[in-house]
Structure 1
Protein backbone atom coordinates (compact mmCIF):
# COMPACT_ATOMS: atom_id res chain seq x y z
CA UNK A 1 0.00 0.00 0.00
CA UNK A 2 1.33 3.42 -0.98
CA UNK A 3 1.81 5.66 2.00
CA UNK A 4 0.19 9.06 1.64
CA UNK A 5 2.39 12.07 2.37
CA UNK A 6 1.78 13.66 5.72
CA UNK A 7 0.13 17.04 6.07
CA UNK A 8 3.44 18.58 7.14
CA UNK A 9 5.21 17.27 4.02
CA UNK A 10 2.53 18.67 1.75
CA UNK A 11 2.82 21.97 3.57
CA UNK A 12 6.58 22.15 3.08
CA UNK A 13 6.15 21.40 -0.63
CA UNK A 14 3.68 24.28 -0.94
CA UNK A 15 5.41 27.10 -2.82
CA UNK A 16 3.45 29.65 -0.78
CA UNK A 17 4.61 28.23 2.55
CA UNK A 18 7.09 30.49 4.35
CA UNK A 19 9.64 28.73 6.55
CA UNK A 20 10.68 30.42 9.77
CA UNK A 21 12.69 29.66 12.87
CA UNK A 22 12.95 25.90 13.55
CA UNK A 23 11.13 25.07 10.28
CA UNK A 24 14.15 26.20 8.23
CA UNK A 25 15.81 22.99 6.99
CA UNK A 26 19.08 24.21 5.44
CA UNK A 27 22.33 23.43 7.24
CA UNK A 28 23.56 26.98 6.73
CA UNK A 29 21.84 30.22 5.79
CA UNK A 30 22.92 33.70 4.79
CA UNK A 31 21.45 36.07 7.36
CA UNK A 32 20.28 39.66 6.95
CA UNK A 33 19.75 41.54 10.19
CA UNK A 34 16.72 43.52 11.31
CA UNK A 35 18.27 46.76 10.02
CA UNK A 36 19.25 45.27 6.67
CA UNK A 37 22.85 44.59 7.67
CA UNK A 38 24.61 41.42 6.49
CA UNK A 39 25.37 39.07 9.39
CA UNK A 40 27.06 36.40 7.29
CA UNK A 41 26.59 32.66 6.82
CA UNK A 42 25.77 30.54 9.86
CA UNK A 43 23.67 27.57 11.01
CA UNK A 44 19.98 28.49 11.26
CA UNK A 45 19.95 27.54 14.95
CA UNK A 46 22.47 30.28 15.68
CA UNK A 47 20.53 32.80 13.58
CA UNK A 48 17.29 31.92 15.39
CA UNK A 49 18.96 32.70 18.73
CA UNK A 50 19.98 36.12 17.43
CA UNK A 51 16.44 36.78 16.16
CA UNK A 52 14.83 35.67 19.42
CA UNK A 53 17.16 37.91 21.42
CA UNK A 54 15.55 40.85 19.61
CA UNK A 55 12.02 39.49 19.98
CA UNK A 56 11.87 38.74 16.24
CA UNK A 57 11.77 35.77 13.87
CA UNK A 58 14.18 34.25 11.38
CA UNK A 59 12.34 34.04 8.05
CA UNK A 60 13.52 32.32 4.87
CA UNK A 61 13.09 34.86 2.06
CA UNK A 62 15.08 33.22 -0.77
CA UNK A 63 14.97 29.45 -0.51
CA UNK A 64 16.50 28.84 -3.96
CA UNK A 65 19.69 30.78 -3.18
CA UNK A 66 22.85 28.94 -2.19
CA UNK A 67 22.89 29.12 0.75
CA UNK A 68 19.25 30.15 1.37
CA UNK A 69 18.79 33.76 2.46
CA UNK A 70 17.01 34.50 5.72
CA UNK A 71 16.03 37.77 7.34
CA UNK A 72 15.48 38.71 10.94
CA UNK A 73 12.12 40.45 11.14
CA UNK A 74 8.63 40.49 12.61
CA UNK A 75 6.89 37.60 10.86
CA UNK A 76 3.33 38.91 11.23
CA UNK A 77 4.25 42.25 9.69
CA UNK A 78 6.16 40.49 6.90
CA UNK A 79 3.13 38.36 5.96
CA UNK A 80 0.91 41.44 6.00
CA UNK A 81 3.24 43.29 3.61
CA UNK A 82 3.34 40.30 1.24
CA UNK A 83 -0.45 40.13 1.22
CA UNK A 84 -0.74 43.89 0.69
CA UNK A 85 1.70 43.83 -2.23
CA UNK A 86 -0.20 40.96 -3.83
CA UNK A 87 -3.50 42.83 -3.56
CA UNK A 88 -1.95 45.98 -5.02
CA UNK A 89 -0.51 44.01 -7.93
CA UNK A 90 -3.88 42.44 -8.67
CA UNK A 91 -5.58 45.82 -8.38
CA UNK A 92 -3.21 47.48 -10.84
CA UNK A 93 -3.48 44.71 -13.41
CA UNK A 94 -5.07 46.30 -16.48
CA UNK A 95 -7.66 44.62 -18.64
CA UNK A 96 -7.45 44.89 -22.41
CA UNK A 97 -10.78 45.11 -24.20
CA UNK A 98 -10.94 44.23 -27.87
CA UNK A 99 -13.53 46.12 -29.90
CA UNK A 100 -14.29 44.36 -33.19
CA UNK A 101 -15.73 46.49 -35.98
CA UNK A 102 -17.11 45.60 -39.38
CA UNK A 103 -17.11 48.00 -42.35
CA UNK A 104 -20.92 48.17 -42.32
CA UNK A 105 -22.70 49.16 -39.12
CA UNK A 106 -25.94 50.99 -38.36
CA UNK A 107 -25.58 54.35 -36.65
CA UNK A 108 -27.52 53.37 -33.52
CA UNK A 109 -25.43 50.18 -33.15
CA UNK A 110 -22.25 52.21 -33.57
CA UNK A 111 -23.26 54.66 -30.84
CA UNK A 112 -24.44 51.93 -28.46
CA UNK A 113 -21.25 49.94 -28.78
CA UNK A 114 -19.05 53.03 -28.73
CA UNK A 115 -20.65 53.85 -25.38
CA UNK A 116 -19.33 50.58 -23.98
CA UNK A 117 -15.84 51.25 -25.31
CA UNK A 118 -15.90 54.69 -23.70
CA UNK A 119 -16.77 53.07 -20.37
CA UNK A 120 -13.87 50.64 -20.69
CA UNK A 121 -11.37 53.44 -21.31
CA UNK A 122 -12.88 55.62 -18.58
CA UNK A 123 -12.37 52.76 -16.11
CA UNK A 124 -8.66 52.71 -16.97
CA UNK A 125 -8.60 49.76 -19.37
CA UNK A 126 -6.69 49.65 -22.64
CA UNK A 127 -8.70 49.15 -25.82
CA UNK A 128 -7.76 47.31 -28.99
CA UNK A 129 -9.85 48.24 -32.02
CA UNK A 130 -9.97 45.66 -34.80
CA UNK A 131 -11.87 46.06 -38.06
CA UNK A 132 -12.27 42.88 -40.11
CA UNK A 133 -12.97 42.73 -43.85
CA UNK A 134 -14.85 39.87 -45.46
CA UNK A 135 -14.63 38.84 -49.10
CA UNK A 136 -15.04 41.75 -51.48
CA UNK A 137 -15.10 44.23 -48.60
CA UNK A 138 -11.33 44.38 -49.16
CA UNK A 139 -12.13 46.59 -52.14
CA UNK A 140 -13.21 49.29 -49.68
CA UNK A 141 -10.22 49.54 -47.36
CA UNK A 142 -10.52 53.33 -47.26
CA UNK A 143 -14.05 53.06 -45.85
CA UNK A 144 -12.81 50.75 -43.10
CA UNK A 145 -9.86 52.99 -42.31
CA UNK A 146 -12.14 56.03 -42.09
CA UNK A 147 -14.45 54.16 -39.72
CA UNK A 148 -11.57 53.27 -37.40
CA UNK A 149 -10.27 56.84 -37.46
CA UNK A 150 -13.77 58.11 -36.66
CA UNK A 151 -13.98 55.74 -33.68
CA UNK A 152 -10.62 57.03 -32.42
CA UNK A 153 -11.90 60.60 -32.75
CA UNK A 154 -15.17 59.77 -30.99
CA UNK A 155 -13.26 58.21 -28.09
CA UNK A 156 -10.70 61.01 -27.83
CA UNK A 157 -12.32 62.32 -24.66
CA UNK A 158 -11.20 59.26 -22.70
CA UNK A 159 -8.36 57.70 -24.69
CA UNK A 160 -5.76 58.20 -27.38
CA UNK A 161 -4.30 55.95 -30.05
CA UNK A 162 -0.88 54.49 -29.29
CA UNK A 163 -0.07 54.56 -33.01
CA UNK A 164 -1.74 55.06 -36.38
CA UNK A 165 -4.19 52.35 -37.53
CA UNK A 166 -2.44 49.68 -39.59
CA UNK A 167 -3.70 47.19 -42.16
CA UNK A 168 -2.62 43.61 -41.44
CA UNK A 169 -4.08 41.08 -43.86
CA UNK A 170 -7.86 41.45 -43.60
CA UNK A 171 -7.68 43.50 -40.41
CA UNK A 172 -7.16 47.13 -39.46
CA UNK A 173 -5.78 47.30 -35.93
CA UNK A 174 -5.05 50.11 -33.50
CA UNK A 175 -4.55 50.22 -29.73
CA UNK A 176 -5.88 52.96 -27.45
CA UNK A 177 -4.68 53.87 -23.98
CA UNK A 178 -6.80 55.72 -21.41
CA UNK A 179 -6.07 59.38 -20.79
CA UNK A 180 -5.02 60.45 -17.28
CA UNK A 181 -8.10 60.34 -15.07
CA UNK A 182 -8.20 64.12 -14.61
CA UNK A 183 -8.34 64.63 -18.39
CA UNK A 184 -11.15 62.21 -19.24
CA UNK A 185 -14.32 63.77 -20.63
CA UNK A 186 -17.35 61.58 -21.22
CA UNK A 187 -19.43 61.96 -24.36
CA UNK A 188 -21.67 58.90 -24.46
CA UNK A 189 -22.10 58.11 -20.75
CA UNK A 190 -22.98 59.94 -17.59
CA UNK A 191 -20.39 59.73 -14.83
CA UNK A 192 -22.63 57.33 -12.89
CA UNK A 193 -23.02 55.05 -15.91
CA UNK A 194 -19.31 55.09 -16.67
CA UNK A 195 -18.38 54.00 -13.14
CA UNK A 196 -20.52 50.85 -13.32
CA UNK A 197 -18.58 47.72 -14.28
CA UNK A 198 -19.80 46.34 -17.58
CA UNK A 199 -21.80 43.12 -17.34
CA UNK A 200 -21.49 40.25 -19.81
CA UNK A 201 -24.80 41.03 -21.47
CA UNK A 202 -23.87 41.06 -25.15
CA UNK A 203 -23.94 37.35 -25.95
CA UNK A 204 -26.15 38.02 -28.96
CA UNK A 205 -23.50 40.33 -30.43
CA UNK A 206 -21.46 37.33 -31.50
CA UNK A 207 -24.18 36.60 -34.06
CA UNK A 208 -24.36 40.08 -35.51
CA UNK A 209 -23.05 40.47 -39.04
CA UNK A 210 -22.01 44.06 -38.40
CA UNK A 211 -21.04 45.69 -35.19
CA UNK A 212 -18.57 46.03 -32.42
CA UNK A 213 -17.99 42.97 -30.29
CA UNK A 214 -16.13 43.28 -27.03
CA UNK A 215 -13.91 40.62 -25.53
CA UNK A 216 -11.89 40.74 -22.33
CA UNK A 217 -8.21 39.91 -21.97
CA UNK A 218 -5.91 40.27 -18.97
CA UNK A 219 -2.66 42.23 -19.04
CA UNK A 220 -0.31 42.87 -16.03
CA UNK A 221 0.89 46.34 -15.66
CA UNK A 222 4.45 46.79 -15.98
Structure 2
Protein backbone atom coordinates (compact mmCIF):
# COMPACT_ATOMS: atom_id res chain seq x y z
CA UNK A 1 0.00 0.00 0.00
CA UNK A 2 2.77 2.40 0.99
CA UNK A 3 4.83 1.48 -2.08
CA UNK A 4 1.81 2.08 -4.32
CA UNK A 5 1.26 5.49 -2.74
CA UNK A 6 4.92 6.49 -3.27
CA UNK A 7 4.79 5.21 -6.83
CA UNK A 8 1.74 7.33 -7.60
CA UNK A 9 3.35 10.35 -5.93
CA UNK A 10 6.53 9.97 -7.99
CA UNK A 11 4.52 9.69 -11.20
CA UNK A 12 2.52 12.78 -10.26
CA UNK A 13 5.71 14.70 -9.55
CA UNK A 14 7.17 13.62 -12.90
CA UNK A 15 4.04 14.74 -14.75
CA UNK A 16 3.99 18.07 -12.90
CA UNK A 17 7.69 18.61 -13.60
CA UNK A 18 7.25 17.80 -17.28
CA UNK A 19 4.24 20.11 -17.48
CA UNK A 20 6.09 22.91 -15.69
CA UNK A 21 9.11 22.44 -17.94
CA UNK A 22 6.91 22.60 -21.04
CA UNK A 23 5.20 25.79 -19.84
CA UNK A 24 8.52 27.41 -18.90
CA UNK A 25 10.16 26.44 -22.20
CA UNK A 26 7.20 27.69 -24.19
CA UNK A 27 7.17 30.97 -22.24
CA UNK A 28 10.90 31.56 -22.75
CA UNK A 29 10.66 30.70 -26.44
CA UNK A 30 7.84 33.17 -26.92
CA UNK A 31 9.72 35.91 -25.04
CA UNK A 32 12.90 35.36 -27.02
CA UNK A 33 11.03 35.10 -30.30
CA UNK A 34 9.04 38.27 -29.70
CA UNK A 35 12.12 40.24 -28.63
CA UNK A 36 14.13 39.04 -31.63
CA UNK A 37 11.53 39.45 -34.31
CA UNK A 38 9.98 42.74 -33.12
CA UNK A 39 6.85 41.55 -34.91
CA UNK A 40 3.55 40.42 -33.50
CA UNK A 41 2.16 37.11 -34.68
CA UNK A 42 -0.97 35.08 -34.04
CA UNK A 43 -2.18 35.46 -30.42
CA UNK A 44 0.21 38.38 -29.82
CA UNK A 45 -1.99 40.52 -32.10
CA UNK A 46 -4.46 42.27 -29.79
CA UNK A 47 -6.08 44.66 -32.26
CA UNK A 48 -9.82 44.53 -32.69
CA UNK A 49 -9.70 44.68 -36.50
CA UNK A 50 -6.89 44.21 -39.01
CA UNK A 51 -6.44 44.53 -42.75
CA UNK A 52 -5.37 41.17 -44.14
CA UNK A 53 -3.25 40.32 -47.18
CA UNK A 54 -2.12 36.89 -48.31
CA UNK A 55 1.40 35.69 -49.05
CA UNK A 56 1.16 37.00 -52.64
CA UNK A 57 0.04 40.44 -51.46
CA UNK A 58 -3.61 40.07 -52.45
CA UNK A 59 -6.05 42.06 -50.30
CA UNK A 60 -8.38 39.87 -48.24
CA UNK A 61 -10.17 42.80 -46.62
CA UNK A 62 -10.70 44.14 -43.10
CA UNK A 63 -11.84 41.66 -40.48
CA UNK A 64 -11.68 40.97 -36.74
CA UNK A 65 -8.26 39.79 -35.59
CA UNK A 66 -9.78 36.54 -34.29
CA UNK A 67 -11.24 35.80 -37.73
CA UNK A 68 -7.92 36.62 -39.39
CA UNK A 69 -6.14 34.20 -37.06
CA UNK A 70 -8.61 31.45 -37.85
CA UNK A 71 -8.10 32.13 -41.55
CA UNK A 72 -4.34 31.76 -41.12
CA UNK A 73 -4.69 28.61 -39.00
CA UNK A 74 -7.03 27.04 -41.57
CA UNK A 75 -4.22 27.33 -44.12
CA UNK A 76 -1.65 26.04 -41.59
CA UNK A 77 0.02 29.47 -41.69
CA UNK A 78 0.63 32.37 -39.30
CA UNK A 79 -0.87 35.82 -39.00
CA UNK A 80 1.96 38.37 -38.89
CA UNK A 81 1.50 42.09 -38.27
CA UNK A 82 3.68 43.85 -40.88
CA UNK A 83 2.40 47.43 -40.63
CA UNK A 84 1.44 48.21 -37.01
CA UNK A 85 1.17 51.97 -37.64
CA UNK A 86 -1.50 51.62 -40.33
CA UNK A 87 -5.16 52.10 -39.44
CA UNK A 88 -6.25 49.40 -39.17
CA UNK A 89 -2.92 47.54 -38.82
CA UNK A 90 -1.93 45.39 -41.79
CA UNK A 91 -1.38 41.68 -41.19
CA UNK A 92 -0.06 39.09 -43.59
CA UNK A 93 -0.94 35.42 -43.76
CA UNK A 94 2.40 33.64 -44.21
CA UNK A 95 4.58 30.81 -42.95
CA UNK A 96 6.43 32.71 -40.24
CA UNK A 97 9.17 30.10 -39.85
CA UNK A 98 9.91 30.25 -43.58
CA UNK A 99 9.77 34.06 -43.47
CA UNK A 100 12.35 34.19 -40.66
CA UNK A 101 14.60 31.72 -42.48
CA UNK A 102 14.53 33.75 -45.70
CA UNK A 103 15.04 36.99 -43.78
CA UNK A 104 18.09 35.55 -41.97
CA UNK A 105 19.43 34.32 -45.30
CA UNK A 106 19.05 37.80 -46.84
CA UNK A 107 20.76 39.41 -43.84
CA UNK A 108 23.64 36.94 -44.11
CA UNK A 109 24.05 37.69 -47.83
CA UNK A 110 23.93 41.41 -47.10
CA UNK A 111 26.66 41.11 -44.45
CA UNK A 112 28.75 39.00 -46.82
CA UNK A 113 28.50 41.65 -49.54
CA UNK A 114 29.46 44.47 -47.20
CA UNK A 115 33.07 45.59 -47.59
CA UNK A 116 35.00 46.54 -44.48
CA UNK A 117 37.44 49.32 -45.32
CA UNK A 118 40.95 48.51 -44.12
CA UNK A 119 44.04 50.70 -43.94
CA UNK A 120 46.89 49.10 -45.89
CA UNK A 121 50.42 50.34 -45.30
CA UNK A 122 52.93 51.01 -48.08
CA UNK A 123 56.46 51.68 -46.84
CA UNK A 124 58.68 54.05 -48.79
CA UNK A 125 62.21 55.29 -48.15
CA UNK A 126 64.32 58.36 -48.93
CA UNK A 127 66.57 56.39 -51.28
CA UNK A 128 63.81 54.46 -53.09
CA UNK A 129 64.66 53.63 -56.72
CA UNK A 130 62.38 53.62 -59.76
CA UNK A 131 61.66 49.87 -59.64
CA UNK A 132 60.73 49.90 -55.95
CA UNK A 133 58.65 53.02 -56.47
CA UNK A 134 56.71 51.25 -59.25
CA UNK A 135 56.22 48.17 -57.06
CA UNK A 136 54.89 50.28 -54.18
CA UNK A 137 52.56 52.08 -56.58
CA UNK A 138 51.16 48.79 -57.84
CA UNK A 139 50.54 47.66 -54.27
CA UNK A 140 48.77 50.91 -53.45
CA UNK A 141 46.66 50.75 -56.62
CA UNK A 142 45.60 47.20 -55.79
CA UNK A 143 44.62 48.21 -52.26
CA UNK A 144 42.63 51.18 -53.56
CA UNK A 145 40.83 49.08 -56.18
CA UNK A 146 39.80 46.73 -53.38
CA UNK A 147 38.16 49.71 -51.68
CA UNK A 148 40.74 50.10 -48.92
CA UNK A 149 42.67 53.14 -47.72
CA UNK A 150 46.44 53.46 -48.03
CA UNK A 151 48.89 54.65 -45.40
CA UNK A 152 52.18 55.69 -46.98
CA UNK A 153 55.04 55.77 -44.49
CA UNK A 154 58.71 56.72 -44.48
CA UNK A 155 60.99 55.75 -41.60
CA UNK A 156 63.82 58.25 -41.06
CA UNK A 157 67.08 56.72 -39.89
CA UNK A 158 70.15 58.41 -38.44
CA UNK A 159 71.15 61.51 -40.38
CA UNK A 160 68.02 61.28 -42.54
CA UNK A 161 66.24 63.17 -39.76
CA UNK A 162 68.06 66.27 -40.99
CA UNK A 163 66.36 66.07 -44.42
CA UNK A 164 62.60 65.96 -43.86
CA UNK A 165 62.07 67.92 -47.11
CA UNK A 166 63.18 64.84 -49.06
CA UNK A 167 60.44 62.83 -47.40
CA UNK A 168 57.82 65.45 -48.26
CA UNK A 169 59.04 65.42 -51.88
CA UNK A 170 58.68 61.63 -52.15
CA UNK A 171 55.25 61.71 -50.52
CA UNK A 172 54.11 64.42 -52.92
CA UNK A 173 55.30 62.43 -55.94
CA UNK A 174 53.64 59.28 -54.59
CA UNK A 175 50.33 61.10 -54.15
CA UNK A 176 50.61 62.64 -57.64
CA UNK A 177 51.30 59.22 -59.15
CA UNK A 178 48.12 57.90 -57.48
CA UNK A 179 46.05 60.95 -58.37
CA UNK A 180 43.94 58.94 -60.82
CA UNK A 181 42.95 56.47 -58.10
CA UNK A 182 43.07 58.31 -54.80
CA UNK A 183 42.66 61.56 -52.92
CA UNK A 184 44.88 62.67 -50.06
CA UNK A 185 42.86 62.21 -46.89
CA UNK A 186 45.64 63.34 -44.53
CA UNK A 187 48.69 65.17 -45.95
CA UNK A 188 52.19 63.97 -45.16
CA UNK A 189 53.22 64.75 -41.59
CA UNK A 190 56.38 63.92 -39.66
CA UNK A 191 55.66 62.24 -36.34
CA UNK A 192 58.86 61.38 -34.51
CA UNK A 193 60.93 59.37 -36.96
CA UNK A 194 57.94 58.41 -39.12
CA UNK A 195 56.36 60.45 -41.89
CA UNK A 196 52.79 59.38 -42.63
CA UNK A 197 50.30 60.20 -45.36
CA UNK A 198 46.81 58.74 -45.76
CA UNK A 199 45.08 58.19 -49.10
CA UNK A 200 41.44 57.27 -49.74
CA UNK A 201 39.73 55.92 -52.84
CA UNK A 202 38.78 58.61 -55.34
CA UNK A 203 34.94 58.61 -55.54
CA UNK A 204 34.97 58.39 -59.35
CA UNK A 205 38.10 57.19 -61.10
CA UNK A 206 39.31 59.64 -63.69
CA UNK A 207 39.22 58.44 -67.31
CA UNK A 208 42.48 57.29 -68.84
CA UNK A 209 44.19 56.37 -65.59
CA UNK A 210 47.91 55.97 -66.16
CA UNK A 211 49.64 52.68 -65.37
CA UNK A 212 52.05 52.59 -62.47
CA UNK A 213 54.95 52.08 -64.90
CA UNK A 214 54.35 55.47 -66.54
CA UNK A 215 54.05 57.12 -63.14
CA UNK A 216 57.31 55.50 -62.05
CA UNK A 217 59.10 56.78 -65.16
CA UNK A 218 57.76 60.24 -64.41
CA UNK A 219 59.10 59.88 -60.87
CA UNK A 220 62.50 58.80 -62.22
CA UNK A 221 62.62 61.80 -64.54
CA UNK A 222 61.88 64.21 -61.71
CA UNK A 223 64.48 62.50 -59.53
CA UNK A 224 67.16 63.01 -62.20
CA UNK A 225 66.27 66.69 -62.52
CA UNK A 226 66.50 67.06 -58.76
CA UNK A 227 70.01 65.61 -58.89
TM-score of the pair, normalised by structure 1: 0.52
Q: How many residues align?
A: 165
Q: Report the CA distance shift for 1:169/1:105 in structure 2 as closer, same or farther (over 3 A).
A: closer
Partners of 1:96 and 1:128 within 8 A in 2? yes
Partner of 1:145: 172
Q: Report the CA distance shift for 1:8/1:80 in structure 2 as closer, same or farther (over 3 A).
A: closer
Cα separation, 1, equivalents of 2:62 and 2:169: 69
- Aligned residue for 2:174, secondary structure, equals helix
1:117-156 residue CA offsets vs partner (Å, 9 max, x unmatched)? 688678xx41112447999846754420222455x49xxx
Q: Does 1:24 align with 2:48?
A: no
Partner of 1:44: 65
Cα separation, 1, equivalents of 2:78 and 2:127: 66
Cα separation, 1, equivalents of 2:175 and 2:61: 61
Q: Which runs of 5+ in 1 are unaligned?
A: 1-5, 154-159, 178-222
Question: 1:95 is matched with which residue: 92, 116, 131?
Answer: 116
Cα separation, 2, equivalents of 1:51 and 1:33: 9
Partner of 1:175: 201
Partner of 1:127: 148
| Displacement after TM superposition at 1:169 (Å) | 7.6
- Aligned residue for 1:25, secondary structure, equals coil
1:61-117 residue CA offsets vs partner (Å, 9 max, x unmatched)? 23454543211112222122111111111111101111345663786x989988986
Partner of 2:125: 104
Partners of 1:117 and 1:127 within 8 A in 2? no
Q: Report the CA distance shift for 1:174/1:79 in structure 2 as closer, same or farther (over 3 A).
A: closer
Instruction: Report matched runs for 1:64-75 at 5 Å.
Output: 64-75=85-96
Q: 60-69 or 79-88: which moved more?
A: 60-69
Q: Report the CA distance shift for 1:69/1:105 in structure 2 as closer, same or farther (over 3 A).
A: farther
TM-score of the pair, normalised by structure 2: 0.51
Instruction: Report matched runs for 1:180-191 at 5 Å.
Output: none
- Aligned residue for 1:55, secondary structure, equals coil
Partners of 2:183 and 2:202 within 8 A in 1? no
Q: Alignment RMSD, CA only?
A: 4.3
Choose 1 or 2 for highest CA Rg.
2
Q: Which runs of 5+ in 2 are unaligned?
A: 1-26, 190-196, 204-227
Q: 98-107 or 53-62: which moved more?
A: 98-107
Q: 19-28 or 133-142: which moved more?
A: 133-142
Partners of 2:52 and 2:91 within 8 A in 1? yes
